Amino acid sequence: MNIDLVLAAQVSSWLDQDPDPVTREQLAQLWQAAQSDMSALLELQDAFRGPLEFGTAGLRGALEAGPNRMNRVTVLQAAAGLATYLVEQGFAGRPVTIGFDARYNSEVFAKDTAEVLAGAGLIPLVFAHVVPTPVLAYSIRHQGACAGVMVTASHNPPQDNGYKVYLGDGRQIVSPSDVDISNHIRTIGDVRNIPHSTEIAIVDGKVISDYVASTTALIDSGPTTIAQRNSIKSVYTALHGVGWETLCAATRASGFQDPIAVNEQRDPDPAFPTVAFPNPEEKGALDLALDLATKSGADLLLANDPDADRLAVALPDTSGTWQALRGDQVGSLLGWWIIKRAKLTNDKVAGTFANSIVSSMMLEQIARAEKLKYENTLTGFKWVSRVKDLRYGYEEALGYCVDPQSVSDKDGISAALMFLELVAHLQTEGKSPWDVLNELALLHGLHATDQVSVRVTDLSQVGTVMTQLRTNPPKTMGGLKVDQIDDLSEGFAGLPKTDAVIIHLGGSSEIEKARVIIRPSGTEPKIKCYLEVVVRNSDLAIARVRADNELQELARDAQPLLAEGK
């Protein structure tokens, strides 16, 4: 089997410079297999197809050899490119904070990054142990850093890792910074020529204590008493991630009971042995926690993803059956509560409420009803966090920013405490979050959401789907007429251009309006389709049936659109 000379040279160069004996051996074996095995050759070609690009959440990829994978060579090049960019921006001699989670190689990648940044004349501040992503985001402004790096793949499978970059404002990078950094990375050659230094400062525990104190101050400013908070019984799972210690410290300092931990998932474990995918949105991920919540008689269940920047919530309904809330439900409840708690403390809510385009339209209704500013953003918290005067922002994928003055990113720990506070207050009124969701549905219409996605094996399939959708768009979906199609690749409502299409559907006698959004995932090889139906009816039971039926019809009609590339 013939292997082209360019690929052969790339493999040889990689084997020469890779400092990791594990990935060197893996690549050597793959190279040998590719001489006679077509599947091995295809895998090799994909590994060297091109460098990883900064996506919605920075770099992410499988832990293997090659420029299209996550490994020490890739990280060293990324760190060198980032260092060049920061020095070019005039930040030589300034600190850069570096955090890491408990995934395979995370600490190694953090150390490599620190040594490269130090070699470039920057001052790396590296956490001594694993930390949640929100703590890293908090530490950037708290320590006056010019940038921050978090080594994490968030909720991706165990074989992945990633690299999230923030600038000095504590927000994730966007264009043109991401493009400039990528361009610098491409200029980095053999990693053995990158200057290194071991002049590294270690971040002590005070930063985490300060983060906990900041989160506690947020709750102390609210309307609940310590006695009310202490009455709430919660179950918590970290999904084998790094959230437990920080969340427990924050709940304790805020006067809540210690959550009842799902012990099998409490401590960090990069193998994620009890879940197929360490994502609280995935089916089965919360099974152990739901079982414990049922047995313990808890008031609510809280779950963080492995790096604790996302929050999932489950509650018992009126029949005692536990149900996980959708991200849009949690997002609407937290938005409602931020307004409500301000009224209860005679405070004024100032600033802007925001969520991403793929999130529910309910938050806009809540904000407008209170005459508050509202903005829609592109998908990804790097956009939500950049809303001017942000007061509260969320995205449907379980990301919530309830305290932007402290953390300009999604934060699953402060959001968990805010939701605990919400439940504590509602219990004093003999109510539950379900009651609030019903009140919001009666006031603004029932906003029902769902999602359909297709995982692809070849990224070219994504382009085929999106091209077909633009050239041959549907005329109807779910029995509703297509009123308007917004192609975000051409720009829309002042938003930056992005690869997404919004299909607006007209209403019917039963449905006020509906919307379908299709976009490629920024973090996984998927095409995602977001569905929303708005139904107004004073009988919410009837409204839910109508909304569920319509969502099923929309999902049915969306599947062929997503499968075009297969």
Per-residue model confidence (pLDDT) at position 561: 87
As annotated, the active-site residues are 154
Q: Binning pLDDT at 50, 70 and 90, where does residue 459 land?
A: confident
Spatial CA neighbour of 116 closest among 199, 53, 23, 24: 199
Residue 24 falls inside a structural domain: no
On the question of pLDDT at 55 being above 80, the answer is no
If you average pLDDT over residues 394-414, what whole number do you get?
Answer: 97
pLDDT digits (tens, 9 = 90+) for 87-112: 999 999 999 999 999 999 999 999 99
Pairing of strands 352-356, 373-377: parallel
Please tell me whether residues 146 and 256 are part of one structural domain. no
Query: Would you call 322 helix, strand, or coil by DSSP?
Result: strand
| Contact status, residue 532 vs residue 553, Cβ threshold 8 Å | no
Indicate whether 371 and 422 sit together in one domain: yes
Average pLDDT in the 127-152 region? 98
**Within a domain: residue 2?**
no
Q: Is the pLDDT of residue 65 over 80?
A: yes
Percent of the chain with pLDDT over 90: 89
| Domain shared by 252 and 399, yes or no | yes
pLDDT tens for residues 192-250? Answer: 999 999 999 999 899 999 999 999 999 999 999 999 999 999 999 999 999 999 999 99
pLDDT at 456: 80
Work out the percent of the chain whose per-residue pLDDT is above 70.
98
Residue with tokens 């906990």: 212
CATH number of the domain encompassing residue 374: 3.40.120.10
**What confidence tens digit (pLDDT) does each residue in 276-292 have?**
999 999 999 999 999 99
Q: What's the whole-number mean pLDDT along residues 322-350?
A: 97
Q: What is the pLDDT of residue 53?
A: 81
| The predicted structure's pLDDT at residue 526 | 83
Give mean pLDDT, residues 410-421. 98
Check whether residue 408 and residue 489 sit in a common domain: no
3-state class (DSSP) for residue 14: helix
Cβ 378 vs Cβ 357: under 8 Å: yes
Identify the pLDDT of residue 552: 97
Residue 50, pLDDT above cutoff 90 = no
Q: What is the pTM of this model?
A: 0.95
What does the pLDDT read at residue 15?
97
476: confidence class by pLDDT, cuts 50, 70, 90 = very high
Regarding whether 383 and 451 lie in a shared domain, the answer is no
Looking at 40-49, 494-503, 521-530, 557-566, which range is the least confident one? 557-566
Q: Can you give the residue range of the structural domain that contains 456?
A: 445-565
**Does 174 map to a domain?**
yes
Q: How confident is the model at residue 566 (pLDDT cuts 50, 70, 90)?
A: very low
- How far apart CA 416 and CA 400 sit, in angstroms, is 9
477 and 417, same structural domain? Answer: no
Domain membership flag for residue 14: no
Nearest-CA neighbor of 434 among 448, 423, 424, 444? 423
Q: Are residues 137 and 232 in the same domain?
A: no
The total of other beta-carbon atoms located within 10 Å of residue 205's CB is: 10
Q: HSE-up of 448 (CA within 13 Å, CB side)?
A: 23
Q: 204 phi and psi, to 5 degrees?
A: -85, 180
Q: Where are the alpha helices (DSSP H) in 429-565?
A: 433-444, 460-471, 540-562
Domain count, the chain: 3
CA distances from 285 to 19, 60, 282, 324, 449 (A): 36, 21, 6, 11, 20
On whether residue 243 sits in a domain, the answer given is yes
My answer on whether 436 and 460 are in the same domain is no
Neighbouring C-beta atoms of residue 269, cutoff 10 Å: 19
Q: What is the mean pLDDT of the chain?
A: 95
Do both 230 and 100 map to the same domain?
no
Are residues 392 and 304 part of one domain?
Answer: yes
Confidence of residue 503 (pLDDT cuts 50, 70, 90): very high
Is 529:452 a contact under the CB 8 Å cutoff?
Answer: yes
200 shares its domain with 325: no
Residues 6+ apart with CB under 8 A from 222: 341, 344, 345, 421, 425
In a domain, 390, yes or no: yes
Q: What is the pLDDT of residue 525?
A: 76
If asked whether residues 198 and 279 sit together in one domain, one would say: no
Q: Residue 156 domain-assigned?
A: yes
Domain-terminating residue out of 183, 204, 225: 204
Out of 442, 467, 485, a domain closes at 442
Q: 201-203 and 123-127 as β-strands: parallel, antiparallel, unpaired?
A: parallel
Terminal-residue alpha carbon distance, the chain: 28
Higher pLDDT, 317 or 525: 317
User: Do 432 and 426 form a contact (C-beta atoms < 8 A)?
Assistant: yes
Nearest to 424 by CA among 145, 222, 183, 174: 222
Does a structural domain hold residue 4? no
Q: What angle do CA 509, 514, 516 make, to 5 degrees?
A: 150
Domain closes at, from 179, 204, 229: 204
DSSP state for residue 512 in the 8-state scheme = S
**What CATH number is attached to the domain comprising 514?**
3.30.310.50
